[in-house]
Amino acid sequence: MKPLFGVVLGLILAVASPAHDSCTCATNKWAVCAQDGPGNCTCRLAGSDQPVDCSTLTSKCFLMKAEMTPPKEKRLWRPPHAVSDSDGIYNPDCEDSGVFKARQCNQSSSCWCVNSAGVRRTERGGRSLNCSELVRTRWIYIELTHKGSSNAFHAPDVAKALTQLLESRYKLHPKYIAAIKYDPPLIQIRLDQNKKPRWDVDIADVAYYFEKDVNNDSVFHANSKLNVSVNGDALAIEKLWIYYVDEKPPEFCMRQLAAGISAVVTVVLLTAAIGIAVLLILRWLRTRTYKKFECKEMREIKAPSLE
């Protein structure tokens, strides 16, 4: 009887295991999934308990919140206060739709306004800081370099490979890929998304997923390693830079410009003042020397002749 029970139990586990393994989120490794019925797998995101649509990319805001949520396992993790004051990852406030809230704050009551990509666009202030709107990031410029600059690829082949990558891996519609330029070893990608329908992925989410892939910290659950090939030859990405352009210019730019102009004016004025002071001192020394020489001549003329 016991051997028969073991066989039956093994069959049950064998049947159940594939179902359990299939209950994962392909586009988000941080999602917690559970089988809540025959063929029904529900995935939620750690840190926000929001349901996750695993057929597309997860919003950047939800991803950042998940990264800042400590795992349940007993292991070391990075506490939120360790990075809360940086301009990189922080524990964001998200709308239910996954969009960043216009104002973000940290634990020290320091607040700032962000764009739709979650990037700071104002100076830091207190809790009274007012962010009237969430300014949309319209353009994203991605610059990257690849290894082996001596083995350059053909520009059309590089553009085709990266377009296929953005379309297949990150679900980005080709109409949002404005340009791809290649000047070995530099590759420039411009994503343009002025208005976005609800069903299209956001270019900010695409840039975040891509950055994670390049840094070997992929968000995808399976096949996470990024492999880009151009006509069968590997395109090994070495460095990556991402720049965000909003519909409205950042509000701290003019302050920084004013501070820079003030610094330049101060340096010019100090240089002029020092120059004038040096000229006055030299003139005073020259006048003093002339007067001494004049007085000496006068004494020699007035002195009685010994003859």
Segments of the chain with pLDDT less than 50: 1-20, 73-86, 255-259, 306-307
- Give Cα separations from 180 to 10, 11, 140, 142, 174 (angstroms): 54, 53, 12, 9, 12
C-alpha dihedral sign at 165, 138, 188, 206: negative
Give CA–CA dist 214/189, Å, rounded. 15
Q: Render 27-48 in DSSP notation, one character per residue.
A: T-TTEEEEEEETTEEEEEETTT
Domains of the chain: 138-246 (3.30.70)
Token digits for 114? 């962000």
Longest dimension (CA), the chain: 153
Bridge partners, 183 (sequence order): 186
Give CA–CA dist 155/235, Å, rounded. 13
Peptide bond preceding 304 in cis form (omega within 30 of 0): no
Per-residue pLDDT, 11: 42
Look at the block and give the residue holding tokens 């009237």.
132
Write out pLDDT tens, residues 25-70: 999 988 888 888 777 888 988 777 788 899 999 999 999 888 887 6
Burial of 129 (0-12, 13-18, 19+ CB in 10 A): middle
3-state SS of 154-220 is: CHHHHHHHHHHHHHHCCCCCHHHEEEEEEECCEEEEEEECCCCCCCCCCHHHHHHHHHHHHCCCCCC
- Residues 92, 61 contacting (CB under 8 angstroms): yes
DSSP 77: -
Residues constituting the chain: 307
